């Protein structure tokens, strides 16, 4: 099938794209091609200057989050058959654009790092593993799926205007440890998320949950962190 990709271009090195400009490309695709395949066709055969991140091409590495027909998607996890014959592709919003579909991910990773996203526990047993029941393990299973693609954070209207807010992805990764029975850093992380930049900025819009390509119930995770703060109890 013939599709038209309408791609938002920006390139500081090229005069015609120094102001953001939409450019259309016609490509022949199969219905079960990924959007990434279509972008590759443009780049490889028509215009090598078109620039986007990609790596694993099957929704695991988190490189190719972008705005597709107004929704945040992974280009490698959406098929052309879902998108119609005219597809608008834009960079994630809420982050500075470096070139075409590439945004500056540094603010995103800074937010992630700010919640101490690592196990805090000093008492590693001298022999064997720390024990954890299947139920305890299941408690935080959902938030272990995060691939740090930024789809959620970029879909959140609060992050568009409030650059202090750590954003949903950072809270998801804090949740992953706060509710891990082996971790002892919950109080520390909850203190961080109780600040002006933390969970109380969330207005429960659910955009993050809709945007997550891993199916994580992001809003629920944020609410669970809020409850832990309100009731001073991690359950």
Partner 1 sequence: MAYHRFDAVIVGAGGAGLMAAIQLAGKANIAVVSKLYPPRSHTGAAQGGISAALGNVEEDHWEWHMFDTVKGGDYLVDQDAAEILAREAIDAVLELEHMGLPFNRTPDGKIDQRRFGGHTRNYGEGPVRRACYAADRTGHMIIQTLYQQGIKHHVNFFDEHFLVDVLFTEDGICCGVVTREIKTGELHVLHAKAVLIATGGFGRVFKITSNALAGTGDGIAIPYRLGVPLMDMEFYQFHPTGLYKLGILLSEAARGEGGILRNSEGEAFCARYAPTLKDLAPRDMVSRFIYQEIKEGRGIDGKDYVHLDLTHLPEEVIDQKLPDITDFARTYLGVEPKKEPVPIQPTAHYAMGGLPTDVDGRVIRDEQATPIPGFYSAGESACVSVHGANRLGTNSLVDLVVFGRRAGRHMLKYIQENSLPPLPREPELRARAEIDAILSRKSGIRPVEIRTAMQEVMMDKVSVVRDGRGLAEAQEKIQGLKRDYASVAIDDRGQTFNTDLLEALELGYMLDCAEAIIVGAIAREESRGAHYRTDFEQRDDKNWLAHTLVYRTSGGIQVRKKPVTITKFEPKERKY
Instruction: Select 55 or 204, whichever has its Cβ closest to partner 1.
Output: 55
Instruction: Select 140 or 165, whichever has its Cβ closest to partner 1.
Output: 140
Report the nearest approach of partner 1 to the CB of residue 161 (Å).
Answer: 26
- The secondary structure of the chain, three-state, reads CEEEEEEEECCCCCHHHCCCEEEEEEEECCCCCEHHHHHHHHHHHHCCCCCCCCCCCCCCCCCCEEEECCEEEEHHHCEHHHCCCEEEEECCCCCCEEECCEECCHHHHHHHHHCCCCCCCCCCCCCCCCCCCHHHHHHCCHHHHCCCCCHHHHHCHHHHHCCCCCCHHHHHHHHHHHCCCCCCCHHHHHHHHCCCCCHHHCCCCCHHHHHCCCCCCHHHHHHHHHHHHHCCCCC
Say if CB 75 and CB 58 are below 8 A apart: no
Report the nearest approach of partner 1 to the CB of residue 5 (Å).
Answer: 17
Of 34, 77, 86, 74, the C-alpha closest to 154 is 74
Say if CB 74 and CB 213 are below 8 A apart: yes
C-alpha to C-alpha distance for 105 and 148, rounded to whole angstroms:
10
Report the nearest approach of partner 1 to the CB of residue 54 (Å).
Answer: 6
Instruction: Select 47 or 164, whichever has its Cβ closest to partner 1.
Output: 47
Report the nearest approach of partner 1 to the CB of residue 201 (Å).
Answer: 23
Residues that bind partner 1 (CB under 8 A): 11-14, 32, 34, 43-45, 47-49, 51-63, 77, 79, 98-99, 102, 105, 109, 113, 116-119, 121, 124-125, 128-134, 136-137, 140-141, 144-148, 177, 180, 182-183
Instruction: Select 138 or 200, whichever has its Cβ closest to partner 1.
Output: 138
Instruction: Select 165 or 177, whichever has its Cβ closest to partner 1.
Output: 177
Instruction: Select 107 or 117, whichever has its Cβ closest to partner 1.
Output: 117
Report the nearest approach of partner 1 to the CB of residue 211 (Å).
Answer: 16
Instruction: Select 3 or 64, whichever has its Cβ closest to partner 1.
Output: 64
Report the nearest approach of partner 1 to the CB of residue 21 (Å).
Answer: 16
Report the nearest approach of partner 1 to the CB of residue 28 (Å).
Answer: 15
């Amino acid at each position: 099938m013939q599709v038209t990709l309408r791609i938002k271009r920006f390139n500081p090195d090229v005069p015609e794209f120094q102001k953001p400009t939409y450019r259309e490309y016609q490509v022949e695709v199969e219905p079960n091609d990924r959007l990434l395949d279509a972008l590759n066709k443009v780049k490889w055969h028509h215009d090598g200057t078109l620039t986007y991140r990609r790596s694993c091409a099957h929704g695991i590495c988190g490189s190719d989050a972008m705005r597709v027909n107004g929704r945040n998607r992974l280009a490698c996890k959406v098929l052309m058959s879902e998108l119609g014959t005219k597809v608008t592709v834009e960079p994630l919003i809420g982050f500075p654009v470096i070139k075409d579909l590439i945004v500056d991910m540094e603010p995103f990773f800074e937010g992630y790092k700010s919640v101490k996203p690592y196990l805090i526990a000093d008492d590693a047993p001298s022999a064997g593993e720390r024990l954890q029941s299947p139920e305890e393990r299941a408690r935080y299973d959902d938030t272990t799926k995060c691939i740090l693609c930024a789809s959620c954070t970029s879909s959140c209207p609060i992050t568009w205007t409030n650059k202090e807010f750590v954003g949903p992805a950072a809270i998801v990764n804090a949740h992953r440890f706060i509710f891990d029975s082996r971790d002892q850093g919950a109080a520390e992380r909850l203190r961080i998320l109780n600040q002006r930049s933390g969970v109380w900025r969330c207005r429960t819009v659910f955009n993050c949950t809709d945007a997550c390509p891993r199916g994580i119930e992001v809003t629920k995770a944020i609410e669970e962190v809020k409850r832990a703060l309100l009731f001073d109890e991690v359950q």
